[in-house]
Amino acid sequence: MSDHRAAVRHHTLRTGIVEFDNGTGSIVSVPCTIRDVSGTGARLQLNSSLWVAEQFTLVFSSGLRKDCRVAWRKGRLIGSAFADGYASADEQAVMMTADEQSRHRLGIGARVRAARETRGYTEGQLAERIGVTAAFVAQAETGEADIPLYQLMHIADLLMVSLDGLVAGPAPGPEDADAA
């Protein structure tokens, strides 16, 4: 469960549906508020969480359906874990709003920049080594462009940092930039 707790959560407030079999073969659909999501699960708010089945399907407003299991319950809140483990990058993108995706891109870009500066590379040097333009690196570091996964993997290897650290690590603060 620690892997699930360690996953970066993206705060959101949107509606969804919890669907489950009520034990008689009928499917019950209950509206919920999706408080936040991560690659491993979601935190849901319902009118009452006590009667929701241990296994259910979470239906996002986009139509995405994820099979889940209850990880914890507290009052009207349910912590759910995705039954298949981790959500794919495409599924996570569907789970987040455009604003949330923008903040996520900005965080990745800031972590790439901090790692690049720590290793002493310029934008141009990094761009040359990963086969892109310096302008793309600049856009990626300011959150204006998505960095494809294969390039993030190459960047992580080149800068000797973990891929997890680039994608989901803490965003560097001003004190980190001064230290670099």
176 or 65: which leads in pLDDT: 65
Q: Sign of the C-alpha dihedral, residues 82, 32, 108, 174?
A: negative
Predicted confidence (pLDDT) at residue 47 exceeds the cutoff of 70: yes
**pLDDT computed for residue 4 by the predictor:** 41
Say if strands 77-82 and 65-74 run parallel, antiparallel, or are unpaired. Answer: antiparallel
How many CB atoms neighbour CB 7 within 10 A? 18
CA distances from 20 to 52, 59, 67 (A): 8, 11, 10
Give the residues across from 58 on adjacent strands: 18, 66
pLDDT digits (tens, 9 = 90+) for 100-137: 778 878 989 999 999 999 999 999 999 999 999 999 99
Predicted confidence (pLDDT) at residue 6 exceeds the cutoff of 50: no
Is residue 145 a contact partner of residue 135, using CB atoms and an 8 Å limit? no
Please report, rounded to a whole number, the percentage of residues in the chain having pLDDT higher than 90: 36
Indicate the pTM of the whole model: 0.55
Q: Is residue 176 very low, low, confident or very high in pLDDT (cuts 50, 70, 90)? A: very low
Is residue 4 a contact partner of residue 71, using CB atoms and an 8 Å limit? yes
The token pair at 147 is 């960095």
Give the residues across from 59 on adjacent strands: 17, 65
With CA atoms as reference, report the closest residue to 31 among 43, 42, 15, 20: 15
Q: For tokens 């930039």, name the residue.
A: 177
Q: Sign of the C-alpha dihedral, residues 111, 117, 118, 124?
A: positive
